[in-house]
């Protein structure tokens, strides 16, 4: 990772942004309540009362991905109302999202599979539909990136001890969770959200919902500083579980993809300071 602030001002370096929803988007969105017939039949719905499947009245809904990249891939619709971002959802709603993740992870485990959970917001971050949702990819084995994070002693525990002692990159610490901008951030305002104490099981943790809410809080603070931006978020449940949040303020290009050298236009210490103050 290299920090190069001057790169943000180079010609043609416009930053992706989220524009307000259009009438066409609002009228055509298949994830909004009342349009359940526009998705594949649901595999799970969290609802406050009795209802027939694939009818209104749900709070969070899980359906098969209509255009899967893997053999089995599901979409978790985060809200019956048209919301663009997890930043627009409160803790109660994000607790329901976490519960949907947990129930589908249990279903996958019962079939000898594992789940990779991720969120794409904005077209620049890979979202084809802009209604807030997450993807659950069913896999036969743990993906290679989180698998590589396993080890003894726990590297994340060691990193958190240093970060919490220095405080320069810590944005917020509350309710047993810490939000920080990592030392080797790959892009501006990259965030990591993790339990302070070592936990290995995210889907069964009571901290998963609050961790999603802390990610939402980071996005709300980012919107104050930079405006609403596309982002990617994913869960790593390997060793010490955590969420990684990568706002898309720049385009990942050949140097990052081909050489693994990420060019960050904002030092993580400065990013953390900005998010602390917003």
**What would the mean pLDDT of 82-109 be, rounded to a whole number?**
98
Rounded Cα gap, residues 123 and 23, in angstroms:
17
Residue 6 is predicted with a pLDDT of 47
Rounded Cα gap, residues 26 and 148, in angstroms:
41
Confidence of residue 91 (pLDDT cuts 50, 70, 90): very high
DSSP for 10-79, written as a single string: STT-PPP-PPPPPHHHHHH-TTSTT-GGGSPPPSEEE-SS---TTSS--SEEEEE-SS-SSSSEEEEE--
Q: For residue range 226-260, what is the model confidence (pLDDT) as tens digits?
A: 999 999 999 999 889 999 999 999 888 898 889 98
* Phi, psi dihedrals of residue 207, rounded to the nearest 5°: -90, -5
Instruction: Name the CA dihedral angle for 203, 119, 207, 167, rounded to a multiple of 10 degrees.
Output: 130
- Chain mean pLDDT for the chain: 93
Considering all CA atoms of the chain, what is the largest pairwise distance in Å, rounded to the nearest integer? Answer: 57
Residue 152 is predicted with a pLDDT of 87
Residue 11 is predicted with a pLDDT of 46
Q: For residue range 146-167, what is the model confidence (pLDDT) as tens digits?
A: 999 988 899 999 999 999 999 9
**What would the mean pLDDT of 82-108 be, rounded to a whole number?**
98
Instruction: For helices 91-110 and 208-226, give the axis angle rounded to 10 degrees.
Output: 130
Instruction: Answer for the pair 29, 131: CB distance below 8 angstroms, yes or no.
Output: yes
Q: Is residue 149 exposed (0-12), middle (13-18) or buried (19+ Cβ within 10 Å)?
A: middle
Q: For residue range 171-216, what is the model confidence (pLDDT) as tens digits?
A: 999 999 999 999 989 999 999 999 999 999 999 999 999 999 999 9
In terms of DSSP H, where are the helices of the chain? 23-28, 91-110, 144-147, 155-166, 208-226, 254, 268-277
Q: Which fold has domain 17-277?
A: HIT family, subunit A (3.30.428)
> Domain ranges in the chain?
17-277
CA-closest candidate to residue 94, choices 6, 205, 13, 212: 212
Instruction: For helices 208-226 and 268-277, give the axis angle rounded to 10 degrees.
Output: 90
Residue 13 is predicted with a pLDDT of 53
pLDDT of 115 over the 90 cut? yes
Residue 7 is predicted with a pLDDT of 52
Instruction: Answer for the pair 89, 132: CB distance below 8 angstroms, yes or no.
Output: yes
Confidence of residue 105 (pLDDT cuts 50, 70, 90): very high
């Amino acid at each position: 990772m290299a920090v190069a602030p001057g790169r943000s001002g180079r010609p043609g370096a416009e930053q992706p942004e989220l524009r307000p929803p259009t009438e066409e988007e609002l009228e055509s969105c298949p994830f909004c309540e009342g349009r359940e017939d526009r998705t594949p039949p649901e595999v799970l719905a969290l609802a406050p009362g009795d209802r027939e499947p694939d009818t209104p009245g749900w709070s969070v809904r899980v359906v098969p991905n209509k255009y899967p990249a893997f053999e089995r891939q599901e979409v978790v619709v985060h809200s019956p109302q048209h919301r663009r971002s997890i930043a627009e959802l409160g803790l109660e709603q994000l607790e329901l999202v976490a519960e949907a993740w947990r129930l589908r992870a249990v279903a996958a485990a019962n079939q000898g599979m594992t789940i990779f959970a991720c969120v794409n917001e904005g077209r620049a971050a890979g979202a084809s539909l802009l209604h807030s949702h997450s993807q659950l990819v069913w896999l036969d084995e743990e993906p290679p990136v989180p698998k590589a994070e396993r080890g003894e002693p726990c590297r994340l525990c060691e990193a958190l001890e240093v970060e919490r002692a220095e405080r320069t990159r810590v944005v917020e610490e509350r309710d047993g969770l810490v939000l920080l901008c990592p030392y080797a951030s790959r892009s501006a305002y990259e965030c990591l959200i993790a339990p302070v104490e070592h936990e290995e099981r995210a889907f069964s943790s009571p901290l998963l919902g609050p961790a999603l809410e802390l990610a939402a809080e980071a996005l709300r603070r980012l919107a104050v500083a930079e405006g609403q931006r596309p982002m990617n978020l994913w869960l790593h449940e390997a060793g010490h579980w955590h969420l990684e949040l990568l706002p898309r303020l720049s385009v990942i290009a050949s140097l990052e993809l081909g050489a693994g050298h990420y060019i960050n236009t904002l030092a993580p210490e400065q990013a953390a300071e900005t998010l602390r103050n917003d």
